[in-house]
Amino acid sequence: MLRHLHIKNFALIDELELSFDQGFNVITGETGAGKSLLMQALGLTVGGRATSDVIRHDTAEAVVEAVFDVDDTRITRLLEESGYSAEDELLVRRVVSQNGRGRVHLNGAVTTVALLRQLGERVMHIYGQHEQQTLLEPEAALRLLDDFAGLGARGKEMAARYQSLQKSWSRLQALTQGKEAARARRELLGIQVDEVKRAALQPGEEERLRQEKAILLNVEKLAQGVAASEEVLVAGEEAVMDRIGRVMTRLRDLARVDESLKEAIVLLSSGLAQVEEAALLLRKYGERLHVNPERLEEIDARLTIIARLKQKYGGSVDAILAFQAAVEQELQQLEGGEESLTMLRQEVDAAAEAAWSWAQQLSQDRRTAARTLEAKMVQELAGLGMKGATFKVEFPQSAIRNPQSAISPGEFRTAAVPLTGAVADDPFYRSEQRLHDTGCDVVEFALSANPGEPLLPLVQVASGGELSRLMLALKVLGTAAEEAPTLIFDEVDAGIGGAVAEVVGRRLKMLAKNRQVLCITHLPQIAAFADHAYTVVKTSVKGRTISSAKKLTKPEQVQELARMLGGVEITPEARRHAKEMIEGARRIES
């Protein structure tokens, strides 16, 4: 239950604090005084959309705080599961900043708007101004029926199954429509991979070939250089080996005098062995060298193949081999396309069966709930001054939505037109029905406002006052199923007056016996039933317009009701009438 509301720097509201109690809380005030601002602020406390235009001029941020009594295990469980302290009170603080970075706090801890919305659904329901007009929207009947039947969770499961089917169906269509393109792609890839395979490239092959080609082109130069080097080392008159040998002989003689020269002899001996080994290597290398024009042609031909493949498939042999691996992998996927197609068809069939079976069960639950709703609506409407009215929930089976036509919302085509072609295979169609994320039902409300009149769709028969009472009755029944602790009605009395307004006030008063009800109204017949009365006024202070509100005492309640009855000038007769209305409302209650 809403206990306290604090608003600061919110549009015309400078700062405002109000406390609320159990029962019927009525908020009145002149048109334009700022009553809608209260509703907008309350909407923020349950996760409504915040925009910077609500911030009062010349201030940095707007703040809305609300304190709720918590006596619901669903709320405490949600708070605990989300990591927040679960207490007897729930403090919500919403800050709207000029920079667009708003903040949300629960019991002093930062939270998200998403969690606030989940909590808001459990603590308070707000029924906005002129909401009765939504009864004329195509989806309204189905939504209100589901609210009454408490099918919210089943509706979410229906939407999930529908989305699953839609995704599988989209993939199947894409794969089916792409079969020809896939076949052409497979042929092209086959040609490409065969060309690369025939080349039988090896990693590093191009570098090795270029090195071999360089050797073949320089055989004579290499042979001459190697022979000359060998001669310097071992074959010439002044060969290195001979000169080292002579040096070693002389050092051995000197070593007899100074043994420390033996270390030099050891090093020269080692060097002599390495010179001999180097000379041997040069000799063998020279023996392998020979002119081979045939091999040179082979290398040129191979390098030409590699150059062509590089131009087509990559800048190096490694890139070409990577291209080959990728193409082979894609070919495997394409060649398994038929198998994938079969698996996708099976997946679509399974998803369709799951969605349709759920939709049919949901449809049965709706039909059962519809009969109960019809009976209760007749009782509610009678209590709201529409005795003899008949209310019907209809399921026009012969009508299905046509997703392919450019008709406006609410129009339907009959299923007498046979389904052929792609639509005939469409898993969203069965017999005379089409599946939607809400199931397979089309629901319409029909009304006969007076005995003897035919049942007709609401758009054809309902006046503004009748729509207001219909919406109130539906909301009363729907919220009874949801057990919301606080209900807020923002001018649901539009289009009614006189005796009917008194009946509506009486019904709201009865509704407030089991929960907290806040109602914004312009009608004194409804305000007279208030357990707690509040008024919103607009004043000018130092050249600035300010909206404020306060709770009324009993004498002030009489005065406010007299204003609503008498207009600008409040006469003694208006006060007497107001007092009589309040006393009459109390007698009716007792």
Write down the domain spans for the chain: 1-129+491-551, 192-334
Average pLDDT over residues 299-322: 86
Where residue 129 falls among pLDDT bands split at 50, 70, 90? low
* C-alpha dihedral sign at 292, 293, 298, 304: positive
- Model pLDDT for residues 29-40, shown as the tens digit of each residue: 888 888 888 888
Contact 493, 522 (CB under 8 A): yes
Spatial distance between the Cα atoms of 272 and 319, rounded to a whole number of angstroms: 48
242-246 CB contacts, 8 Å cutoff, 24+ apart: 244/268, 244/271, 244/272, 244/275, 245/272
Where residue 130 falls among pLDDT bands split at 50, 70, 90? low
Average pLDDT over residues 312-337: 80
Spatial distance between the Cα atoms of 521 and 303, rounded to a whole number of angstroms: 91
For residue 161, what are the contacts with CB-CB under 8 A and spacing of at least 6? 351, 354, 355, 358
Average pLDDT over residues 307-314: 86
* Most confidently modeled range among 321-335, 364-378, 571-585: 364-378
Bridge-based pairing of strands 486-490 and 413-414 is unpaired
Backbone φ and ψ of 492, nearest 5°:
-75, 0
Bridge-based pairing of strands 24-29 and 516-520 is parallel
Where do the H-state alpha helices sit in 124-178?
140-149, 152-177
Helix (H, G, I), strand (E, B) or coil at 55: strand
Lowest-confidence segment of 57-71, 147-161, 389-403, 423-437 by average pLDDT: 389-403
Question: For 1-129+491-551, which CATH class?
Answer: alpha beta
Average pLDDT in the chain: 83
Higher pLDDT pick, 182 / 291: 291
Spatial distance between the Cα atoms of 119 and 113, rounded to a whole number of angstroms: 10
- Model pLDDT for residues 139-162, shown as the tens digit of each residue: 888 988 998 888 888 999 999 999
Nearest to 230 by CA among 241, 217, 216, 220: 241
| pLDDT attached to residue 474 | 82
Whether residue 410 is predicted with pLDDT greater than 60 in this model: the reply is no
- Model pLDDT for residues 64-93, shown as the tens digit of each residue: 999 998 887 888 888 888 888 777 888 999
Where residue 484 falls among pLDDT bands split at 50, 70, 90? low
- Measure Cα distances from 375 to 135, 246, 358, 382 in Å: 19, 130, 26, 11
